[in-house]
Structure 1
């Protein structure tokens, strides 16, 4: 993969999780506000807010589902094959206490850092390129879902 494309992928992944660069000079697809990526959107959210059901799911479930998907991506990068994954189980979180909510956020950040570090070290092939780009798209999709849920959660 060319250095230009690798840097572009990293920029999009960073915007998904961290929001646009500060000071905000523009955004590719998130809001122009600082903290409009996944980390900023869930930052300061209480475990009670993260546990509010919106149409049968919670922000905590979405956040952990993003982590789970990213873990799978990191495993594919590391081992070259898809790990056994239980997608239904990844949606089983209905409520969290403060400790669980903090753990989900820390584990998501760890998977994010691992992915960013891996992007620089990957021996790229079509499978890995598709996997990294699908992880980006998947995370961006859930960022949008969480932002919509916040309209209910933060009322």
Structure 2
């Protein structure tokens, strides 16, 4: 009886060791996959925007997405004060992202606001919300959580923009 119990315990220990050793291998494989996926994403953007500079490709893609998903007054039927809302990103000093926000009211008046965002020490993963009852998706500022960007409600577009901005932030954090 003791021999049967010892045999079962040793088999259980062996199975535990084998399962435990396979988990780190799976984690390493998935990290490699993520790295290959990132490289593929960046290579695709560089080919799309005909540049060898990763930062220029990310900036061009982010601006194209912001333009495509811009909130226009035409989408704001029934709103009290419909406005066109456009954004343009540029790079300033090392680690600095400049944001140009342009609001055009129904009367044609334009209000421009320029902001800078230092990306050093910031979490590059952006938070956004696209409430089903609204017409907009709102990105929270990585620095403080207040609303930072507002685009037309399109969850897939917001996801693509968040991905591009996340890659751009990581690129800018390199200096």
Same fold (TM over 0.5): no
TM-score bin (small chain): under 0.3
Greater helix proportion:
1
Greater strand proportion:
2
Structure exhibiting the larger radius of gyration computed from Cα positions: 2
